[in-house]
Each structure stands twice: as C-alpha cells, then as structure tokens.
C-alpha cells in the first residue's frame, strides 16, 4: 500500500514555450483528482496503449496532480513487481521515451489489486485499496474504471462494482466506467449489455470508447467542416458525387484467430469505426459542441442510413477472405491457415458496402465503405469526390482527362488533408493538369507523441463524453449491420478465399463501384 507520505507534486521545467503553446495551456483544463482503475492491467492494451498514453498526458501536465492508478489483474504480484513490469512497458512502448522524472512520477502512483473478476472478495479488497489511496493522495473518491478485459467480463465487472457500492455517486464525487469495444456481437446482445450497465450506473457514467475517435484527423473533421466558411456550403448532394471511406491493413489477423473467427471484418471495423467516420462526415451542424448535441447529430445519420433488404445485401455488399500471397518478397499464408482458424472458415476478412443516407442533404449520394486485411497499403481515409464541372471551355483538354475535384481526409498513417483540383499547364496553349494542395499535421504542428488514447482518457477524466458512443448510437449501427450478417450467415460463401494477399480485395468489390461508373481509390 501507499507509504502514507503526501503525494509528490510533479515539477517539470517547461523550458521556452511558444505563444501557441502558452495559449493552448491557458485553454486546457485539468480534471478533478481521481484514481484510474484498470481491469485487465496485465494485458497488452494496458502496456502498449493505456500506460504510455497516461505517460504522455503526464508529460503534457494534463493529469491531475492528485492522481493514482490501480491495476486489477488475475496474476499475483506485489505493488513493486507491478511497477517494475509497467516500467519495462513504458521503456518498450512509450514513443518518444518519457522524461525519467515523468516516468518516476507515474510509476510511483501505480498499485495492484489481484483477484478473480467474478469474486466479490476482489471488490471488497479494491474498495479498501481505493479508500487508502484517497487518504494518501487526496483523490476525493473520484474513480474512473477502465474495462480493458475480454467483452465477456464487461457486465460481470460492472455488476460487481455496483453491488460493492463502487459506482455510487454522492457528495460531489464521480464514478465513471470506460467500456472497450466490441459493444455486443449483434443488436440483441448490445441491448442486453446496455441494460446490464444501466442497471448499476447512469448512462452519463458510461463511456463506450472507440480509439479511432481519438485520432487527430477524425476530430478535425468537425473543425474542418464547421470552422471554415468555404466548405460547408458545398458539403451536400448538389456538389458531392460520392464518398469513399477506406480502412486498409497490410497485416493479417496477427494470432487473433479465436477472436476474429467470432467477429469478422463487418463486426470488427464497419459497425463501429467506419460508421463513426461516416457519421462525422455526413452529420448536420450541432447547435453547440456540448457532448449530447454532437452525439445527437451523429446518431441521426446512422438512423438515416437506408436499411438493406435481403435482396439489397446480395447486390450492395461484398465479402472476402484473403488467400496466400507475397508481401515484400515473403510468402504469406491464407487466413484459413492461421492458428485457431477453421480450415473451411467462412469468416470475412474483407467487407465492402454501398450505403445511402436518406436525408435532404445526402439523398442519392452513395457512400462506399470498404475494409480489409492483407491489402497492399495500410491507410485509413475519407475521400469526398465532387461532381464534374458541367461544361468544359477547354477544348484542347479532352473531358475524360479532367479529374473531378477530390477532398481527401487522411486518418492514418500520415494524418492530413489534401485537395485535388485542375490548374493550367504553363505554355502558350490552354491545357489543364491535375494538382494537389497538401496539409500534413507534422509539417504545421510537429510530431505529437500519441497512442490514440490520450484525448479519450483526458476527456473521460474531465467527464466529456463527446467522442464516446452512446447506447442509441451503438444500436443504430447494429440495425444496419445485422441484416447483412443474417444473409451472410444463411448463404455461406462459395469462393473463399477470393482475393490474394497484397491485393486490393475481391473482384466483386470492384464490380460494386464500377457498375456506377466509379472506381476505388487504390493508392500505389
């Protein structure tokens, strides 16, 4: 347990700050004193993402001075053994390396409560640990519980916390629960999980996390749209031809065969990450940036997606599974050869959909979504392609060579925004060429250490739920996906695997968009 000594105040020399940095610090808020409790503290998520993210927040002086972390894990470890293990994790995964003083400050505040998540005794011991930390560090009884566990434990842990009184809010203290995805595996299980969570906590206490919404470019979509006067007037069906959203990965399933066999690409990526990208792209301006005002507009988009009938599923969706291939000169195996994958598996590693948002702004504008593993490039992007100019005055330039204007929002790996348009080629004749204006975050703002979780943890400590899923948003996403899953389950694929590793997916996905006279963006 804690030594009983007063909490050491972190003092880090700021050095010379720019005017921008001073202004940023003036606007930033520091959350209330609190304890972060991580269930599953011995897992990969904690050591690879959560602890380095806390280190980066500490480095930026965005954590409360009265702060501590309690890990909850099955393995038996002392506090000092847990700190040693987490020190190794920080040295391996924090990028760039943390200032030693920052690392020492954070590690000194780590504690461990071992036990079985289903054992009521664990929660009594946790309660005692938290009470002692409140006394030693002055954390005021404010607790942020992070469920970094398999989904099967989400409800169990929440119910046990509720039974132990650890979710009760009184005397101005707060209690919050952060739940990792997946939020159920279909509509009914998502509803059941929400009922279990809200039986012990209010909806405002529940923070359903999606690390994609912590990425800078995703957050910048709203700033880009609503903070600039030149884009929003053309962000509609009159000017936009179509939207493509791509999340491509070069890796396979990386040893997660057991999980992926239950999930598949549609559940793993489309229902959560990609639908949130679509919602941010298509949403109406909120009346304010208050959390529920923003989330109200996002959920309206998901409700407006035209439902797919069984017949629509056959024509508007494509599934694929990667086969063997060559990646950077190395032979790689098919999905069915991965550990813990059935040799005749029907699980999709690729999914593509054509969807329509049935409202005034987006009527008849197709949204093409695709995601897959073992594709040639790792990238996540939103491409808004505008309609062609209605008439060409440039008779020396064949119309088919004039590229439509394209606005590209790059989410990873190189975050930024680019705009493609036509310009005159120098010379005496009138000829047009395609040019691109590029904005890269690193060029303008430098490299900011990030795991993708810093913003989300910071917001959870502040109680700002803007970037987190609400129960109705989760259900709205499942309502679109479940009809597709039902048809795919009823009609097993006959041609799996149907795309080779290191290619852009099955031919049927190309057919899906090309029958509309369009093509996927396949960067080299």
- Do 218 and 173 lie in one domain? The reply is no
Write down the pLDDT at residue 389: 78
* Angle 272-302-297 from CA coordinates, rounded to 5°: 105
**Segments in the chain below pLDDT 70:** 1-28, 215-217, 391-401, 429-431, 446-449
Name the catalytic one among 20, 211, 242, 273: 273
- Do 141 and 244 lie in one domain? The reply is no
Q: Of 180, 198, 228, which closes a domain? A: 180
Write down the pLDDT at residue 443: 75
- Do 135 and 269 lie in one domain? The reply is no
Three-state SS sequence of 482-518 = HHHHHHHHHCCCCCCCCEEECCCCCHHHHHHHHCCCC
Furthest-apart CA atoms within the chain: distance in Å: 84
- Do 68 and 162 lie in one domain? The reply is yes
In angstroms, what CA-CA distances link 44 with 40, 87, 257?
9, 14, 16
Dump pLDDT digits (tens) for 357-389: 999 999 999 999 999 999 999 999 999 999 987
Q: Which residue range forms the structural domain that includes residue 96?
A: 19-180
Write down the pLDDT at residue 119: 95
Dump pLDDT digits (tens) for 201-214: 999 999 998 877 77
Q: Residue 259 is part of a domain; what is its CATH number?
A: 3.30.360.10
Model's pTM, two decimal places?
0.87
Phi and psi, residue 141, nearest 5°: 75, 15
Half-sphere exposure of 332 (CA within 13 A, CB side): 23
Residue 92 per-residue DSSP state: H
Number of H helices and E strands in the chain, helices first, is 17, 17
- Do 342 and 250 lie in one domain? The reply is yes
Write down the pLDDT at residue 368: 98
Residue 340 per-residue DSSP state: T
- Do 236 and 327 lie in one domain? The reply is yes
185 is a domain residue:
no
- Do 388 and 304 lie in one domain? The reply is yes
Give the sign of the dihedral formed by CA 22, CA 24, CA 29, CA 31.
Answer: negative
4 is a domain residue:
no
Q: Which two tokens stand for residue 181?
A: 């995805």
273 is catalytic: yes
Question: Would you call 80 exposed, middle or buried from its count of C-beta atoms within 10 A (0-12, 13-18, 19+)?
Answer: exposed
- Do 152 and 236 lie in one domain? The reply is no
First-to-final CA distance of the chain: 55
**Number of independent structural domains in the chain:** 2
Contacts (Cβ under 8 Å, ≥6 apart) of 412: 215, 217, 378, 379, 380
240 is a domain residue:
yes
**What is the DSSP annotation of 95-138?**
SSPPPHHHHHHHHTTEEEEE--TT-HHHHHHHHHHHHHHHHHH-
Q: Of 136, 163, 180, which closes a domain? A: 180
- Using the structure block, give the residue that is written with the tokens 């030149």: 230
Phi and psi, residue 24, nearest 5°: -60, -45
Q: Residue 63 is part of a domain; what is its CATH number?
A: 3.40.50.720
Write down the pLDDT at residue 3: 39
- Do 174 and 224 lie in one domain? The reply is no
23 is a domain residue:
yes
Write down the pLDDT at residue 44: 87
413 is a domain residue:
no
- Do 229 and 369 lie in one domain? The reply is yes
In angstroms, what CA-CA distances link 450 with 28, 56, 103, 215?
17, 7, 16, 9
Three-class SS state of 332: strand
Q: Is the peptide bond before 143 cis (omega within 30 degrees of 0)?
A: no
- Do 376 and 489 lie in one domain? The reply is yes
User: What is the four-CA torsion angle of 37, 42, 44, 49, rounded to 10 degrees?
Assistant: 30
- Do 174 and 228 lie in one domain? The reply is no
Facing residues of 500 across strands?
323
Give the sign of the dihedral formed by CA 12, CA 16, CA 20, CA 26.
Answer: positive
Answer for the pair 384, 281: CB distance below 8 angstroms, yes or no. yes
Three-class SS state of 84: helix
Answer for the pair 220, 410: CB distance below 8 angstroms, yes or no. no
């Amino acid at each position: 347990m804690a030594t009983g000594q007063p909490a050491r105040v972190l003092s880090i020399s700021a050095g010379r700050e720019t005017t921008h940095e001073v202004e940023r610090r003036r606007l930033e808020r520091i959350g209330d004193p609190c304890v972060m409790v991580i269930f599953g503290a011995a897992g990969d998520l904690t050591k690879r993402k959560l602890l380095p993210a806390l280190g980066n927040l500490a480095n930026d002086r965005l954590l409360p001075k009265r702060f501590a972390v309690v890990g909850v894990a099955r393995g038996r470890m002392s506090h000092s053994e847990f700190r040693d293990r987490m020190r190794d994790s920080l040295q391996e995964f924090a990028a760039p390396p943390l200032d030693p003083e920052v690392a020492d400050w954070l590690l000194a505040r780590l504690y461990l409560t071992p036990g079985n998540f289903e054992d009521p005794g664990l929660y009594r011991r946790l309660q005692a640990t938290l009470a002692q930390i409140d006394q030693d560090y002055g954390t005021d009884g404010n607790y942020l519980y992070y469920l970094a566990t398999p989904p099967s434990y989400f409800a169990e842990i929440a119910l046990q916390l509720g039974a132990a009184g650890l979710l009760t809010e009184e005397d101005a203290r707060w209690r919050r629960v952060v739940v990792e995805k997946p939020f159920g595996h279909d509509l009914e299980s998502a509803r059941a999980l929400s009922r279990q969570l809200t039986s012990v906590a209010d909806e405002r206490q529940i923070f359903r996390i999606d690390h994609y919404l912590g990425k800078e470019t995703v957050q910048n979509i709203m700033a880009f749209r609503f903070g600039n006067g030149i884009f929003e007037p053309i962000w509609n069906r009159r000017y936009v031809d179509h939207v493509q959203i791509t999340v491509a990965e070069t890796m396979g399933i990386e040893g997660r065969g057991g999980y992926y066999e239950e999930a598949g690409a549609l559940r793993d990526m489309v229902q959560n990450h990609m639908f949130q990208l679509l919602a941010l792209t298509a949403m109406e301006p909120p009346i304010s940036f208050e959390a529920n005002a923003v989330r109200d507009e996002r959920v309206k988009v998901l409700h407006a997606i035209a439902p797919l009938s069984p017949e629509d599923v056959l024509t508007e969706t494509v599934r694929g599974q990667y086969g063997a291939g060559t990646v950077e000169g190395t032979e790689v195996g098919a999905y069915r050869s991965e550990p813990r994958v059935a040799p005749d598996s029907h699980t999709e590693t690729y999914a593509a959909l054509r969807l329509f948002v049935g409202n005034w702004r987006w009527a008849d504008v197709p949204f093409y979504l695709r995601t897959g593993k073992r594709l040639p490039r790792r990238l996540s992007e939103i491409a808004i392609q505008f309609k062609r100019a209605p008439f060409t005055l440039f008779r020396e330039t064949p119309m088919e060579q004039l590229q439509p204007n394209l606005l590209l929002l790059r989410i990873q790996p190189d975050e930024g925004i680019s705009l493609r348009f036509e310009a005159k080629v120098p010379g005496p004749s009138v000829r047009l060429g395609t040019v691109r204006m590029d904005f890269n975050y690193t060029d303008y703002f430098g490299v900011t250490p990030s795991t993708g979780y810093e913003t989300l943890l910071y917001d959870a400590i502040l109680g700002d739920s803007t970037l987190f899923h609400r129960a109705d948003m989760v259900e709205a996403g499942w309502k679109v996906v479940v009809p597709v899953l039902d048809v795919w389950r009823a009609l097993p694929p006959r041609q799996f695997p149907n795309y080779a590793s290191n290619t852009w997916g099955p031919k049927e996905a190309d057919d899906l968009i090309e029958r509309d006279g369009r093509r996927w963006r396949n960067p080299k």
